[in-house]
Amino acid sequence: MIKQLLSLTLLACTFSSFSQTTVVDSIFAGGIYRSYRLYVPAIYNASSARPLIINMHGYTSNAAAQQLYSNFSPIADTANFLMVFPQGTMYMGQPFWNAGISPTLVDDKGFLDHLIDSLKLSYNIDMNAVYATGMSNGGYMSQTLACELSNRITAIASVTGAMFTTQAGTNCHANRPVPMMQIHGTADGTVPYTGSATSLPIDSVVSYWVRKNGCNPTPAFSNVPNTNTSDGCTAEHYVYSNGNSGSSVELYKIIGGGHTWPGAPFTVGVTNQDFNASVEIWRFFRKYRLNTLTSVRNMEQQQANLNVYPNPANDVLHVSFENNGKPSTIVISDLPGHVLIREASSGGQINTSTLAPGMYLLSVLSEGKEIGKLKFIKE
C-alpha cells in the first residue's frame, strides 16, 4: 500500500489545480531546512483570518502523496481554509515523524510549532482554528501535538495512527480538553486495531481521550449507511460528547478496513467508500476554537487530572481526579466565591440539583491545598 502511495507522488504535479494553488517552500528549523506544501484555495482573501490544517504523511510516504491521497482540496476550495503538508525527515532510510519515538532524534514538534509562526507571517491565519491530522505515522504525530502543543493545536484527527504506550498518562501534557477523532480499520495490518508491544489498542486511545476530556463514557452509536457494498467493509460511528468546554471524541471504526484513508480517490487496499474521511474531519474540526476550549478550563491544575461530566450538568455531576487515595474534599462555589456545596469525596457523583442554572467553580482540596479547579455549567 505504501509503495503505491509513493507512486502517486509523481501524479501530483500533473494536476493543474495543485500547481495553481500549492506553494512549495521551506523554513530553517532545528538547524536544517524543512520543506512543506501549502494549499491556498482560490477564494482565500487576506482580509479575513482563515483556519489552518496541518496534514502529515505516513512513514515512507511524503507531503505530495499525502496531499493527493487525502484529497482535501475540494473541501478547502469551498470552506476556505489553508492546508499545509509538511515533509518529515529521514529515519532508517525513510521519511518519518518523530512522534515520541526518541528524544535524541529530530524535534518535529519544534519544527511544526515554528511552521505555524512562519505561515502566520505571510497569511492571515486564525490562530484559534489551527488543527492537525495525519495518516499512520502522521496520525501518531497528531497525537503528539495534542499532548505537547495543546496551546496551539485546537483539535486533532488520526487516520490509521495510534498512540505509543509511552505517550499516554503522565507523558501527555495537554493542559486543556483536546477534541479528538480516530478513524481506523479493524483489519489494519500496519497499525493493528488491537494494539502492539509499542502501541495502544485503538479502543484504549479513544478511552484515554474520553477520560482526559471528561466526555460521557457512553457513546452515541450509529452504523454508517453501507452505500458502497463492493468496498469490502462497513463502518461504525461512535460519538462521546459533553466533554469539558464542549469537547468530544469521535471514532469511526471500519469493520474489515485496512491501512487506508476512507473515501480516498485511489484504492490501495480495503478502503471504505461509505463516507469521506476528509469531509468528516473538517466537519469535526470546524466545531472547535482554541479560545473556547481554553476559557472554561483554564484554571484547572492538571496534576490532579480533574475531569467532570456532563458539562453542562443537570442534577448529577460526575467528578474524577487523581490523588493517590489521600482524603479529599470537593467544594462548589459561585463565581463571586460563595461556597454552595462542600463534601468529602474521592470522586464519583455530586448532587447538583440544588444549584440554579449558571456557571460554577469546582475545586478539589487535599491536605489544605487546592489540587484541581475548573468551571462547569449547570443547565
Determine contact, residues 83/76, Cβ cutoff 8 Å: yes
Q: Is 331 exposed, middle or buried (0-12, 13-18, 19+ CB in 10 A)?
A: middle
Mean pLDDT of 26-36: 96
Cα 164–Cα 276–Cα 131 angle in degrees, nearest 5: 50
With a cut of 90, say whether residue 85 has pLDDT above it: yes
193 and 313 share one domain = no
Prediction pTM value: 0.76
Determine contact, residues 125/49, Cβ cutoff 8 Å: yes
C-alpha cell at 81: 481554509
For the domain that residue 349 is a member of, what is the CATH number?
2.60.40.3080
Determine contact, residues 180/249, Cβ cutoff 8 Å: yes
pLDDT band at 367 (very low <50, low <70, confident <90, very high): confident
Angle between helices 2-12 and 63-70 (to 10 degrees): 90
311 and 196 share one domain = no
Alpha helices in 158-303 (DSSP H): 202-213, 277-285, 290-295
pLDDT (tens digit per residue) in 291-345: 999 743 333 334 467 888 888 888 999 888 887 778 899 999 987 778 999 999 8
With a cut of 50, say whether residue 167 has pLDDT above it: yes
* Number of other CB atoms surrounding residue 16 within 10 Å: 8
User: What does the alpha-carbon distance between residue 320 and residue 326 come to, in Å, rounded to a whole number?
Assistant: 14
Determine contact, residues 231/270, Cβ cutoff 8 Å: yes
**DSSP-derived 3-state class of residue 227:** coil
Angle between helices 137-148 and 108-122 (to 10 degrees): 80
279 and 348 share one domain = no
- Residue of higher predicted confidence among 11 and 138: 138
Q: Which of 298, 363, 357, 371 is nearest to 333 (CA)?
A: 363
User: What does the alpha-carbon distance between residue 341 and residue 248 come to, in Å, rounded to a whole number?
Assistant: 28
User: What does the alpha-carbon distance between residue 274 and residue 219 come to, in Å, rounded to a whole number?
Assistant: 21
Q: Which of 295, 315, 347 is the last residue of a domain?
A: 295
Mean pLDDT of 283-290: 97
Task: Count structural domains, the chain.
Answer: 2
104 and 222 share one domain = yes
148 and 74 share one domain = yes
**Average model confidence (pLDDT) across the chain:** 90
Question: Judging by DSSP bridges, how do beta strands 180-185 and 249-255 pair with one another?
Answer: parallel
Give the amino acid at 162: A
Most distant CA pair in the chain: distance in Å? Answer: 67
127 and 239 share one domain = yes
Share of the chain above pLDDT 70, in %: 92
Per-residue pLDDT at 100? 87
Q: Which of 269, 295, 321 is the last residue of a domain?
A: 295
58 and 90 share one domain = yes
User: What does the alpha-carbon distance between residue 79 and residue 136 come to, in Å, rounded to a whole number?
Assistant: 25
For the domain that residue 177 is a member of, what is the CATH number?
3.40.50.1820
Determine contact, residues 136/69, Cβ cutoff 8 Å: no
Residue whose grid cell is 452515541: 220
241 and 154 share one domain = yes
Per-residue pLDDT at 4? 46
66 and 113 share one domain = yes
Q: Which of 277, 295, 313 is the last residue of a domain?
A: 295
60 and 205 share one domain = yes
290 and 346 share one domain = no
Determine contact, residues 134/57, Cβ cutoff 8 Å: yes
Mean pLDDT of 359-366: 86
151 and 242 share one domain = yes
Q: Which domain holds residue 167?
A: 2-295
With a cut of 60, say whether residue 3 has pLDDT above it: no
User: What does the alpha-carbon distance between residue 156 and residue 144 come to, in Å, rounded to a whole number?
Assistant: 10
Per-residue pLDDT at 341? 94
* Number of other CB atoms surrounding residue 358 within 10 Å: 10
